[in-house]
């Protein structure tokens, strides 16, 4: 394991959360890994694939993602291939011959390709020793309607009963994790959740006013940086790009209504060229392996916490600082509710979608640290981060301990099984049949909150959910219950303040941060780094690959600091494995010592 890690990938040690699942896979066990973007999920199946004798099948949702990963592996000297619709018949013949001969170690394909009868029959004749399912949350979120073949992946264990399977994703709440474990593994799996925090990313939510002006203000201090602007509609993507281009930025468009070749060309330009802003719908982003995206800007509310986490998580994959801003307006909530109701999904799926949206709204209204609210959704914890808008520029809060105790009292007295809307009806003293049927109009809490309107109580409950005093059950019927923190609050051992519904507007965007890692370099080291980046750009253009596939910025900074004088010293640099040392070592030594 450690020899492969150093010799192929150029790393001296595993990152937290990598080693144990690798050992499980090598022992023939099933593994499910939930790890944040940029934490090194791919290595967990790539290293066992290189150690094992047979073939590893990698299931991935997007052609661009498969092609990028295969290109990166080939630069490392790893025999990997992809079967997809862009291949020529000659390509496919060559790949199949390579698989038959045992030369190919990793074979990437879509779920549609793998689960076809012909491919399954062919795979049974090969020595398949492992199957990796990337972006595994799609099994739960896409399976029923959008990509039915993801649902068919639940049959993998029938077709390959003795082959260990690994599923990987960056975003899956407890309900989604349970869904995947049941469908893909029949619960026979070792689950590793490595935490969801991305501490290098700053988080901010701003009330929506004039989105074009707000976007222009946000990018003003970010000239030359790569970023993504997410929009709800295709027209808004085009309007955003036109607005940015008129201001002197290089902005491209990506949405499902575009010509496929134009869309693919824009994606390639974004991945390979510096300083491009992509204005896109959610059709863009999954598996985009561009490490130096410095910002993500949402012009509209995403559909859920999982999707929001996936989308902003495309920033800062290199570990350097990145900024994520979301505009949030009341009209967004209405539109998202409409989308859910118009979707061709079951009543149960729609109910869950509404509850997930409730949690995202609670995050937007969070009166305390956003990172704490975000991580609590995924069952993770954090201290106040000092890297979100609430921590850095606290909003004016209203003391609300008494109101929170009213909410908790109503929850407890009604049996901790009703939803937020019903609790609000209790508080405002609504005279409705359902309340009378349960006899809840006789409770001491019925009508105790008439001093506030129902929307205000809904906002307070959402903020109590975000603060961890109340639990909203997404999996069952959307009931709210009191947490252990809520018990302390109810008996007066804790306090609660809430953000009034008219949220404070941030007048000016925070200045873009200087990369901490580069700021620590001396003047002479910065000169070396500039030369190294120029050499990397030339190599990337020659090989027609993104620059980061040659070396990540971290490797170049390491070279600038250590200033290796020969091949032996170069081999100790972070991310310099044997294949890249042989291919590029001399070029970068010349750049350093030229």
Tens digits of residue pLDDT in 63-101: 777 888 898 899 999 999 999 888 899 999 999 999 999
pLDDT 10s digits, 290-309 = 889 999 999 999 988 888 99
**Residue given tokens 């009963």 in the structure block:** 161
DSSP 394: P
Task: Indicate if the pLDDT at residue 43 is higher than 80.
Answer: yes
Residue 107, phi then psi, degrees to nearest 5? -120, 115
Give the bridge partners for 504, in sequence order. Answer: none
pLDDT 10s digits, 103-122 = 999 999 988 889 889 999 99
Q: What is the SS3 string spanning 343-392?
A: CCCCHHHHHHHHHHHHHHHHHHCCCCCHHHHHHHHCCCCCCCCCCEHHHH
Q: In terms of Cα–Cα distance, which of 61, 137, 145, 139 is closest to 343?
A: 145
Task: Express the helix, strand and coil content of the chain in percent, nearest 5 each.
Answer: 50, 15, 40
| Distances in whole angstroms, Cα of residue 1 to Cα of each of 29, 132, 331, 440, 466 | 17, 18, 52, 62, 41
Q: For residue 56, what are its two tokens?
A: 């590893």
pLDDT 10s digits, 201-243 = 999 998 888 899 999 999 998 999 999 999 999 999 999 999 9
Please give the Cα distance from 358 to 363 (Å, whole number): 9
Give the bridge partners for 323, in sequence order. Answer: 202, 295
Range of weakest confidence among 99-108, 147-156, 159-168, 177-186? 147-156
Task: Indicate if the pLDDT at residue 587 is higher than 50.
Answer: yes
Residue 287 is predicted with a pLDDT of 60
Residue 324 is predicted with a pLDDT of 96
Residue 67 is predicted with a pLDDT of 83
pLDDT 10s digits, 493-509 = 988 888 776 544 443 33
Q: Any residues with CB less than 8 A from the CB of 246 and at least 6 apart, and which?
A: none
Please give the Cα distance from 300 to 573 (Å, whole number): 42
Please give the Cα distance from 511 to 222 (Å, whole number): 9
Range of weakest confidence among 46-60, 158-172, 473-487? 473-487
Give the residue with greater pLDDT, 352 vs 512. 352
Share of the chain above pLDDT 70, in %: 93
Domains of the chain, earliest start first: 2-193 (3.40.50.300), 201-392 (3.40.50.300), 398-494 (1.10.10.10), 518-593 (1.10.150.80)
Task: Indicate if the pLDDT at residue 516 is higher than 80.
Answer: no
Say if CB 419 and CB 434 are below 8 A apart.
no
| Distances in whole angstroms, Cα of residue 137 to Cα of each of 149, 157, 177, 398, 526 | 13, 18, 8, 38, 41
Residue 501 is predicted with a pLDDT of 63
**Element containing residue 205 per DSSP (H, E):** strand 201-207
Give buried/exposed letters for 565-590 (b at 16+ CB in 10 A, else e).
eeeeebbebbbbbbbbbeebbeebbe
Please compute the mean of the pLDDT values over residues 389-408 and round it to a whole number.
87
Task: Indicate if the pLDDT at residue 514 is higher than 60.
Answer: no
| Distances in whole angstroms, Cα of residue 202 to Cα of each of 41, 169, 462, 485 | 23, 22, 22, 27
Task: Indicate if the pLDDT at residue 38 is higher than 80.
Answer: no
Task: Indicate if the pLDDT at residue 335 is higher than 90.
Answer: no
Give the residue with greater pLDDT, 165 vs 537. 165
């Amino acid at each position: 394991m450690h020899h492969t890690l150093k010799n192929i990938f150029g790393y001296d040690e595993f990152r937290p959360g990598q080693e144990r699942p690798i050992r499980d896979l090598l022992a023939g066990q099933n593994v499910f890994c939930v790890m944040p973007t940029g934490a090194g999920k791919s290595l967990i199946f790539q290293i066992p694939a290189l150690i094992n004798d047979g073939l590893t099948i990698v299931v991935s949702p997007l052609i661009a993602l498969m092609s990028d990963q295969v290109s990166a592996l080939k630069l490392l000297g790893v025999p990997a291939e992809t079967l997809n619709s862009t291949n020529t018949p000659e390509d496919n013949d060559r790949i199949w011959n390579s698989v038959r001969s045992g030369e190919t170690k990793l074979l990437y394909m879509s779920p549609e390709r793998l689960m076809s009868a012909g491919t399954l029959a062919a795979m049974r004749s090969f020595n398949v020793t492992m199957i990796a399912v990337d972006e595994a949350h799609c099994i739960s979120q896409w399976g029923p309607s959008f990509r039915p073949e993801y649902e068919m992946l639940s049959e993998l264990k029938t077709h390959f009963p003795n082959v260990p399977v690994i599923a990987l994703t960056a975003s899956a709440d407890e309900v989604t994790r349970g869904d995947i474990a049941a469908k893909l593994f029949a619960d026979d799996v070792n689950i590793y959740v490595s935490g969801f925090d991305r501490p290098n990313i700053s988080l901010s939510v701003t009330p929506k006013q004039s989105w074009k002006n707000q976007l222009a203000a946000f990018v003003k201090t970010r000239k030359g940086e790569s970023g993504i602007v997410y929009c709800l509609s295709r027209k808004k993507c085009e309007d955003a790009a036109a607005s940015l281009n008129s201001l002197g930025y290089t902005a491209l468009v990506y949405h499902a209504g575009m010509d496929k070749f134009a869309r693919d060309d824009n994606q390639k330009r974004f991945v390979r060229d510096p300083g491009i802003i992509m204005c896109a719908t959610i059709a863009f982003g999954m598996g985009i392996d561009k490490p130096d995206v410095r910002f993500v800007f949402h012009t509209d509310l995403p559909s859920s916490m999982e999707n929001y986490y996936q989308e902003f998580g495309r920033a800062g994959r290199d570990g350097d600082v990145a900024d994520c801003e979301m505009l949030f307006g009341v009209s967004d909530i209405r539109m998202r509710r409409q989308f859910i109701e118009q979707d061709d999904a079951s009543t149960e799926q729609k109910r869950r979608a509404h509850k997930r949206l409730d949690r995202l709204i609670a995050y937007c209204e969070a009166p305390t640290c956003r990172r704490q609210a975000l991580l609590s959704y995924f069952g993770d914890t954090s201290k106040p981060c000092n890297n979100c808008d609430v921590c850095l520029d606290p909003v004016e809060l209203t003391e609300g301990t008494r109101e929170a105790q009213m909410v908790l009292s109503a929850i407890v007295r009604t049996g901790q099984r009703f939803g937020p809307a019903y609790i609000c009806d209790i508080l405002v003293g609504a005279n409705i049949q359902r309340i009378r049927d349960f006899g809840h109009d006789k409770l001491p809490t019925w009508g105790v909150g008439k001093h506030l309107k129902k929307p205000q109580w809904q906002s307070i409950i959402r903020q109590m959910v975000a603060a961890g005093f109340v639990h909203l059950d997404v999996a069952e019927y959307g009931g709210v219950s009191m947490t252990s923190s809520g018990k302390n609050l109810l008996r007066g051992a804790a306090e609660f303040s809430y953000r009034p519904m008219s949220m404070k507007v941030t007048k000016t965007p925070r200045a873009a941060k200087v990369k901490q890692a580069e700021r620590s370099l001396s003047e002479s080291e910065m000169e070396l780094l500039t030369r190294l980046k120029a050499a990397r750009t030339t190599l990337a253009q020659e090989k027609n690959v993104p620059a980061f596939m040659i070396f990540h910025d971290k490797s170049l900074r390491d070279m600038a600091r250590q200033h290796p004088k020969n091949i032996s010293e170069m081999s100790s640099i972070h991310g310099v494995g044997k294949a890249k040392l042989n291919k590029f070592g001399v070029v970068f030594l010349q750049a350093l010592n030229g």
